[in-house]
Chains A and B, each alone.
Chain A
């Protein structure tokens, strides 16, 4: 087989566009010679290394589009109303009795048309606290979006979340409350919990403080997980593994009080939290810098203090360039 064909086969395999036979062929080829394996590794590294991950523009565009769609759907609803109104007037000229009947019918018809959705969006470094019509309190974390109906449906309360939020759901046993993220559906009756479904992180986490929640992994054959207070459910989006463990409340709730807690975390993971809280971008000099472990706790500290302390403990230095902060190894 030619060099060209094997290169293309490898990348198609990495894209999961190959057939079973091709996979077998490739496996044989890789094991045949040590340099083949080397070639495979080299192609894999350049194929998988960080893609142009800047989804910022896409997120902004999505928010704009969502607004347009919401406005259009409200308009459709209005024109429906106007149509029914005209029709009702016409009927009135024919028979008064008919009018009464029609008002009853049309008012019933109006209620279940597509609900009007509202959304709250927060920027980096911004936290928004608000209440829904049922009294549920929501604290929306930085760079997050919550979509909720202006009025809840009869038998359920459903909201959609991108990013992170803390919920204090007001009790109503007849109207379960559901939070949907891209990959989880969290059902509760009344309780306190935190959901972190931040787009650029690999994990979706549900942390329960009070009450009871049931979590369904969407796409996972409707498997249901029950959480007890003090427990946390973590879904790894890339391999679809679900973990349940005891939560660290200071770590989970930190974002609400501008507290950052790092318990032996990789600097690259810590960076995501810092980026969210301070609205900056952290850039690492090399991979070993990103792998540095961080053990620290900050309460409402200025960004420079946070960076100063992280750098001094890890033998690192940093350089500020507008919204970008470069972190490098001291040589």
Chain B
């Protein structure tokens, strides 16, 4: 099944292969922030390392533009490239090989769960962005990977070493939370 987003990426890739820089810029701007976010979740130190690694991924992506073989989607390709690059870094630094099952997620409880807080942010009319930030870290990352980076459940599952079902559960929790506390209020305005 080909989706609209995939065919848009397909067009961009075709242009990229002919050395079209605007197509490169478009791809960059489309996926950069999502990649940086994912990179930060993989690298424990929060300074600019993630930014640098993402730059390297894009630089290689540009220089290899004639030899790109993409089996899945463009977004999955870029995210997987980043994951591999991060693994390389761990290897170079002789750090224990990165084990994604031990990803440094914060505790699973979140501010959003307390009823007091729900009341408070309802009254304050939080923006959707602020509402998303209230989700547990892992749920937030998965939700954004799906909504903003257009990755499928299967792709997210393999990037984060989770099962497809657990990705779906995180997505459901996020959607339900936002629907009830944000969508319900907004759609009545």
Which of B83-91, B100-108, B170-178 lies on the face that meets chain A? B170-178
Q: How large is the interface on B (under 10, 10 to 19, 20 to 34, 35 or more residues)?
A: 35 or more
Name B residues whose Cβ lies closer than 8 Å to a Cβ of A. 1, 3-5, 11, 19, 21-22, 25-26, 28-29, 32-33, 36, 51, 54-55, 58-59, 62-63, 125, 127-129, 131, 146-148, 150, 152, 168-169, 171-172, 175-176, 178-180, 182-184, 186-187, 189
Q: Is the CB of B3 within 8 A of A17?
A: yes
* Contact flag A42-B179 (CB < 8 Å), given A7-B172, A287-B189: yes
B171: A residues at CB distance < 8 A? 8, 11
Chain A interface, number of residues (Cβ within 8 angstroms):
47
Q: Is the CB of A52 within 8 A of B33?
A: yes
Q: Is the CB of B21 within 8 A of A62?
A: no
Q: Is the CB of A181 within 8 A of B22?
A: yes
Q: Is the CB of A55 within 8 A of B29?
A: yes
Using CB atoms, name the residue of chain A closest to B37.
Answer: A52
* Contact flag A57-B128 (CB < 8 Å), given A43-B183, A46-B179: no
Q: Is the CB of B21 within 8 A of A147?
A: yes
User: Which residues of chain A (55-74) have a CB below 8 Å from chain B?
Assistant: 55, 57-59, 61-62, 64-66, 68-69, 72
Provide the bound-state CA to CA distance between A72 and B152, in Å.
35
Using CB atoms, name the residue of chain B closest to A2.
Answer: B172
Q: Is the CB of A52 within 8 A of B59?
A: no
**Which single member of A44, A47, A52, A62 contacts B28 (CB below 8 Å)?**
A62
B4: A residues at CB distance < 8 A? 16
A19: B residues at CB distance < 8 A? 1
Using CB atoms, name the residue of chain A closest to B15.
Answer: A218
A32 interface hit (Cβ, 8 Å)? no
Q: Which of A39, A41, A58 has the most CB of B within 10 A?
A: A58
A38: B residues at CB distance < 8 A? 187
What is the total of A-B residue contacts with beta carbons within 8 Å?
120
Sort A-B residue pairs by CB-CB distance and give the 5 closest, nearest first.
A42-B183, A46-B178, A46-B183, A58-B32, A49-B128
Q: Is the CB of A8 within 8 A of B32?
A: no
Q: Is the CB of A43 within 8 A of B175?
A: yes
**Which single member of A3, A8, A57 contacts B168 (CB below 8 Å)?**
A8
Q: Is the CB of B33 within 8 A of A45?
A: no
A182 interface hit (Cβ, 8 Å)? yes
A210 interface hit (Cβ, 8 Å)? no
A-B contact pairs, 11 of them (CB 8 A): A8-B175, A17-B150, A41-B187, A46-B179, A47-B147, A50-B127, A55-B33, A62-B25, A65-B58, A68-B55, A160-B21
- Grouping DSSP codes into helix (H, G, I), strand (E, B) and loop, the A interface class, with mixed when no group exceeds half, is helix
Provide the bound-state CA to CA distance between A303 and B68, in Å.
49
User: Nearest Cβ distance between residue A20 and chain B, in whole angstroms?
Assistant: 9
A47: B residues at CB distance < 8 A? 147, 175, 178
Using CB atoms, name the residue of chain A closest to B182.
Answer: A46
Query: A17-B152, A41-B183, A50-B129 known; 9 other A-B pairs, CB under 8 Å?
Result: A41-B187, A47-B178, A49-B182, A61-B51, A61-B55, A62-B32, A65-B59, A69-B59, A286-B125
Provide the bound-state CA to CA distance between A199 and B54, in Å.
21
B59: A residues at CB distance < 8 A? 65, 68-69
User: Nearest Cβ distance between residue A245 and chain B, in whole angstroms?
Assistant: 26
Q: Is the CB of B148 within 8 A of A52?
A: yes
A154 interface hit (Cβ, 8 Å)? no
Provide the bound-state CA to CA distance between A46 and B129, in Å.
10
Contact with B along A295-325 (1 / 0, CB 8 A): 0000000000000000000000000000000
A215 interface hit (Cβ, 8 Å)? no
Q: Is the CB of A45 within 8 A of B3?
A: no
User: Which residues of chain A (117-133) have a CB below 8 Å from chain B?
Assistant: 117
Q: Is the CB of A42 within 8 A of B187?
A: yes
Q: Is the CB of A45 within 8 A of B182?
A: yes
B36: A residues at CB distance < 8 A? 57
Q: Is the CB of A15 within 8 A of B179?
A: no
Provide the bound-state CA to CA distance between A41 and B184, in Å.
8
B29: A residues at CB distance < 8 A? 55, 58-59, 62, 199
User: Nearest Cβ distance between residue A42 and chain B, in whole angstroms?
Assistant: 3
Provide the bound-state CA to CA distance between A5 and B51, in Å.
36
B146: A residues at CB distance < 8 A? 11, 15
**Which single member of B32, B55, B147, B148 contacts A11 (CB below 8 Å)?**
B147
A162: B residues at CB distance < 8 A? 25
B187: A residues at CB distance < 8 A? 38, 41-42, 45
Q: Is the CB of B182 within 8 A of A15?
A: no
Provide the bound-state CA to CA distance between A55 and B25, in Å.
13
Provide the bound-state CA to CA distance between A189 and B68, in Å.
37
A180 interface hit (Cβ, 8 Å)? yes
